[in-house]
Amino acid sequence: MSADSQVSRSAEETIARGKELASKMRAPLLVLLSGELGAGKTTLAKGIISGLGAAAEEDITSPTFTLVHTFTGPVKVYHVDLYRVSEAQEFDSLGLEDLFAEPAIVLIEWPERMRLRSDWPVLRIDLEHVAEDERRIAVRDGT
């Protein structure tokens, strides 16, 4: 268990931090991205997914309306946003258990919206809005 917290002063810096984190990620891994609206979860995911070589930065957008974006690169990556999921919906009924069928990197924004069922190693990342362009990025290795 290790913890690490850094302040990013721009979206570009957050993307760079995501790429740095990606270099240490190995499938299977569940990455929980927490933080309020606009905290920078999708921006960090852009860095992680492009850093994993699974997509170009400009092709990584918010999965808010589609629930899951799937990327097939050197490693399979799923980018999930549970923001619009209602309390009545469940993990299985959304087909989310399918994401864990094979080793992959699964990134989840708004993970607190739902009880997740996975026994994969977890990396918890909390983003906090400090000032207009400043975000605190805290990473906790939960394995």
Ligand X SMILES: Nc1ncnc2c1ncn2[C@@H]1O[C@H](COP(=O)(O)OP(=O)(O)OP(=O)(O)O)[C@@H](O)[C@H]1O
In the list 133, 141, 142, 143, the residue contacting ligand X (rule: CB under 6 A) is: 133
94: left (phi over 0), alpha (psi -120 to 50) or beta: alpha
Angle between helices 11-22 and 41-51 (to 10 degrees): 40
- Neighbouring residues of 79: CB distance < 8 A, sequence distance ≥ 6: 45, 49, 60, 63, 68, 69, 71, 107, 109
- Characterize the bridge pairing of strands 76-81 and 122-131: unpaired
Nearest distance from C-beta of residue 1 to Mg ion, angstroms: 27
Contact region with ligand X (CB under 6 A), list: 4-12, 20-28, 84-92, 100-108: 4-12
Judged by beta carbon, residue 84 or residue 92, the one nearer Mg ion is 84
39 is a contact residue toward ligand X (CB under 6 A): yes
41 is a contact residue toward Mg ion (CB under 5 A): yes
Nearest distance from C-beta of residue 63 to Mg ion, angstroms: 8
In the list 5, 10, 66, 72, the residue contacting ligand X (rule: CB under 6 A) is: 10
68 is a contact residue toward ligand X (CB under 6 A): no
Burial of 32 (0-12, 13-18, 19+ CB in 10 A): buried
Contact region with Mg ion (CB under 5 A), list: 23-31, 40-48, 51-59, 130-138: 40-48
Contact region with ligand X (CB under 6 A), list: 9-17, 21-29, 49-57, 112-120: 9-17
